[in-house]
Structure 1
């Protein structure tokens, strides 16, 4: 799975001029399932999102995770937004290829799984709308933007 996470002060997703998901301070995460991804990659990605220490502590150092913010007067929200274009391959010319993205049904299944697990493990989870034309609004904090790739495990032969 591929993700691009941004530390935000606030973020929201609109579809047809209606807000479908919004958070205060936390992480806005663009997520893409690739061919061969399974629930195991989604679980690893979620574990990394919840534990990654990219929020400032009292000394201004990146020592807090989105989970550390929860319950301290600051909303540690997660806004999970599906975005198959993260799998773009631009090596073959000027038009990107998306052949490495999971098929739509599988991408939706893995995205829904990720959202379900996130909601079970974190108190503030919002989403975009799978396969919709979305407008994403955010105030990037820092800015801090981090790409993540969780590759499928390979079987040793």
Structure 2
């Protein structure tokens, strides 16, 4: 699985004019399943995201996790993370899982995150979404599992 984490002061995702998810301070997680991924990989990704120490402690060092600070997690599907631009100017997305598998694994990520963390919001799989965020830092971390 591929993910991009952005530490945020706040974030929301809209489909049309409807807000489907909104958080205050926490993490925006853009996530993409790949063909070789399964539920175990999805669970490993969630565990990594929840424990990654990218929030400041009292000394200003990145030593605290999302769970430590009690921040929100906004999970948004984004198959374009699998873009391959090596073949020219038009990206190929063949590295992304097929839609049915991608949906299943995205929903598994969300369910697993909600089982482990009290504040999880989402976008809408496969929808044209507008994501609004105030990046904190900025801190942006790519993850590939």
TM-score (norm 2): 0.99
Which residue does 2:38 correspond to in 1? 38
RMSD: 0.4
Alignment partner of 1:86 out of 78, 81, 103: 81
Distance apart, 1:48 and its partner CA? 0.5
Unaligned runs of 5+ in 1: 71-75, 151-157
Distance 1:133 1:45 in 2: 24
Distance apart, 1:18 and its partner CA? 1.0
Distance apart, 1:17 and its partner CA? 1.1
Name which one, 1 or 2, has greater alpha-carbon Rg: 1
- Superposed, 1:75-154 pairs within 5 Å as 76-150=71-145
For the residue of structure 1 that corresponds to 2:124, the secondary structure is: coil
Q: Deviations over 1:40-89 (max 9, x none)?
A: 1101110110000000001100000000012xxxxx10000000000000
For the residue of structure 2 that corresponds to 1:44, the secondary structure is: helix
Distance 2:83 2:16 in 1: 25
Q: Displaced runs of 4+ in structure 1, greater than 6 A?
A: none
Distance 1:66 1:36 in 2: 27
Distance 2:121 2:35 in 1: 25
Distance 1:57 1:22 in 2: 24
Unaligned runs of 5+ in 2: none
Residue-pair matches, total: 145
Which residue does 1:56 correspond to in 2? 56
